[in-house]
Amino acid sequence: MCGGFNIKESGKHTNGNGTNGDTRLQSPYLIVGSGSIGSTVARELLKRNKKVVLIDKDAGKVETLREQEFEAVVGDLNDPNLLDPINVKSVEVVLILSSDVAANKNAIATIKQASDNIQIIARAPSTVGKGELEAAGADSVVVPPRIVSDATMRILERVESAKHASDILNVLRSNGDGKLAIVVHDNPDPDAMSGAVALKAIAASVGTESEILYRGEIGHQENKAFVNLLHIGMDKIDEEKARPLSEFKKIALIDCSIPEENNLVPKNVVVDIVIDHHPVGMEDVHAEYVDIRPNTGATATIMTKYLQELDISIDKDLATALLYGIRTDTLGFKRNANPVDLTAAAFLYPLADHEILNRIETPAISIETLDTFGKSIRNRKIRGSYLITNVGTLKDRDALAQAADYLLNLEGITTVLVYGVGEDQIYLSGRSNDIRLNLGEAMHRAFGETGSAGGHATTAGAQIPLGVFSDTKDRPALMKIAEEVVMKRFFAAIGVENGDETEGE
């Protein structure tokens, strides 16, 4: 399109070359019922090179505005001829800013009458007036007390954030030459691990040496890739490698809050620092320094705020780790995410290594995992919307859950059970998106008595000891037994007849 006139310009403005004899004021912005808010907004618009005209019923005020180089005219909000001095076609937005709801409503009616093409922003003295003004036709309503309280809350948060930061530094400084143990929850996830690395960096900033300790396993290929690619240094504590916590002067709990609850700190030990985001009864938490923010989606978010507040430089690995921690703990900002998680992520985003993030999320698949997938696909048995499959002799337990996740994508399938036979147990992993089924409970009913089973409504697992059968050298017979046990018990537990297959071999 040539010429450069879009509809808005040709329609709304009497494009520039004079006014065709029209002496009325032209301005895209109009502020009606100015007052102190109005003149402040007008000043901001002028700073942005926007033309603005103010209308006020007080002639003296209009005079003062003119002296301050504003364009202003006298006009009453209740007057149906309010817009007479204005070329309405030039107006794009009107801000109606008096504190009188009735007068603001009258002004809205006058503007609506003149044009339905003007955006109207009106002021309400309280949230009560907000609905009235919206009903009268305002496109947006501003409520100054709300705005002031929001701004005050933000200031309060900043003040508290600064206080937190200086408090934690004091606790860390009081460690002196002693070492700090940073303990994450068992089977740590990226949120816990990245939060721990952040605390390590904060401790290092005041010369405090620290070590990250954990118990359990780092499950999932993604988490293993996370630890390797981001060089996360942690010490695993177990029966084979016990370490007395007495070698540390202070202990911090990250992403957990109570000794012995899902962490390696014994019950009788008093910890010094607790930073977590899981809701907990505060009377159960005992530490010199406690920062628990249940409204936050991730501990990594809290730690990012500390690093920001303390102005500690965040290297690429740490930024990437924290960003991944926030993303995974909020399920990609879909679960429990709060604006503070988004601002922390936005802060980390430019500092993070996105290529590494991609590699963490799509870790290389081992041959064993690929084989497991292959077998799970080949051996599938489908009954209605249920898919049950076995992977034969089990080598990689993580692959079971991955196969189950993958097979749940199959058209028409709502529940998947994948199992494999280990040394002396049958391992099962289940996934379901059938809202009528609580898979964790079903698995418990089916396998809880002879083995261990449990989980959530959509994700569950179980182990069944093979007992005397584990000695058998006849693998095909063992597989047959495993299949019978799994199918029979599972279908009985969910009340489905172990009937004909609709597909499979």
**Footprint of Mn ion (CB under 5 A):** 191, 255, 299, 329
Beta carbon nearer to Mn ion, 255 or 441: 255
Q: How many residues does the chain have?
A: 505
Q: Between residues 330 and 390, which has the closer beta carbon with respect to Mn ion?
A: 330
Q: Alpha carbon 373 to chain centroid distance? A: 31
DSSP annotation of 300 reads: H
* Closest CB 321 distance from Mn ion, rounded Å: 13
DSSP run (H or E) holding 292: strand 289-292
Query: Six-digit token pair at 219?
Result: 């499950």
Q: Closest approach of Cβ 295 to Mn ion, in Å?
A: 13
CB closer to Mn ion out of 26 and 257: 257
Query: DSSP string spanning 431-493?
Result: EE--TT--HHHHHHHHHTTTSEEEE-SSEEEEEEE-GGGGG---HHHHHHHHHHHHHHHHHHH
State the minimum distance, in angstroms, from the CB of residue 329 to Mn ion.
4
Q: How far is the CB of 233 from Mn ion (least distance, A)?
A: 20
Q: Where are the alpha helices (DSSP H) in 294-410?
A: 299-310, 316-329, 339-348, 354-361, 367-378, 397-407
Q: Which is nearer to Mn ion, 41 or 264 (CB)?
A: 264
Looking at beta carbons only, is 194 or 379 nearer to Mn ion? Answer: 194
Q: What's the min distance (Å) between Cβ of 327 and Mn ion?
A: 12
Name residue 53's amino acid.
Answer: V
> Helix axis angle, 354-361 relative to 316-329, nearest 10°?
50
CB closer to Mn ion, 129 vs 325: 325
Q: Cβ(482)–Cβ(421) under 8 Å? A: yes
Residue of closest CB approach to Mn ion: 191
The Cα-based distances of 43 to 28, 65, 71, 189, 296 in angstroms read: 15, 11, 11, 51, 37
Which residue has tokens 């999932």?
A: 220
* CB-nearer residue toward Mn ion: 249 or 278: 278
Alpha helix segments (H runs only) across 7-123: 7-12, 35-47, 59-67, 101-114
DSSP state of 231: T
* CB of 298 vs Mn ion, minimal distance in Å: 5
Nearer to Mn ion, 184 or 417 (CB): 184
Beta-sheet pairing, 452-455 with 250-254: unpaired
Closer residue to Mn ion, CB minimum distance, 335 or 473:
335
User: What's the min distance (Å) between Cβ of 214 and Mn ion?
Assistant: 14
Q: Closer CB to Mn ion, residue 27 or residue 299?
A: 299
Q: Write down the least CB distance from residue 195 to Mn ion, Å.
A: 8
Q: Shortest distance, CB of residue 193 to Mn ion, whole angstroms?
A: 10
Q: Residue 309: what are its φ and ψ, rounded to 5°?
A: -60, -40
- CA–CA dist 490, 386 (Å, integer): 11
| Separation of alpha carbons 214 and 267, rounded Å | 16
Q: Do the strands 52-56 and 386-393 form a parallel or antiparallel pair, or are they unpaired? A: unpaired
What tokens does 27 get? 């301005």
Rg of the chain taking only CA atoms, in angstroms: 33
276 or 353, CB closer to Mn ion? 276
> Nearest CA to 320 among 342, 297, 300?
300
Closest approach, Cβ 123 to Mn ion, in A, equals 42
In whole angstroms, how close is the CB of 333 to Mn ion at the nearest point? 14
